[in-house]
Copies of this chain bind each other. A is one copy, B any other.
Amino acid sequence: MPDPEIRMRKMVEALRENQYRITPQRLAILKVLAESKGHPSVESIYEQVKTNFPTTSLATIYKNVAVLKDLHQLLELGFSDDSNRYDGNKPYDHPHVVCTVCRKILDPDISALADMTQELTRETGFAITRHRLDFFGICPDCQARQ
């Protein structure tokens, strides 16, 4: 079973467990989230869902994203100068690389992180609970285009 399908089932399960109803629009949103690699915005989810359900409302996307976030099935990446982006595949803290040209966001495979939180706790006395690690640059595609 492909990864996106596993994620969809997991999310549907979370919805059912919490007495949320399974609507076609909801499933379409889950599908987009489970299949997206670039961390879509609400607007982008909206555009994709509309290809199958042309009457879908933007408000519906917002409401469903909020539900999934509450159920911890969605990681929200807020940007002060851009709209929020969502990660439905790894709904837990992890580093991201952000292309400053095409705005796509990817998950790097990175190892050197685990120690960092420990070092910080020792260094600062903070009880670290979460992190947000963004690296900005130009992706291979956009480099090639220039």
A residues at B contact (CB < 8 Å): 78-81, 84, 95, 97, 99-100, 106, 108-113, 115-117, 119-121, 123-140, 143
Contacts and interface: CB of A to CB of B under 8 A. Distances in A.
B110 A120 contact: yes
A138 B121 CA distance: 10
Majority secondary structure of chain A interface residues (helix, strand, loop or mixed)? mixed
Contacts of A137: 121, 126-130
A123 B108 contact: yes
Contact of A134 (B99, B117, B132, B138): B132
A82 to B, nearest CB: 9
14 contacts: A97-B120, A108-B123, A110-B119, A110-B120, A110-B123, A125-B143, A126-B137, A127-B137, A128-B135, A128-B137, A129-B136, A130-B136, A130-B137, A132-B132
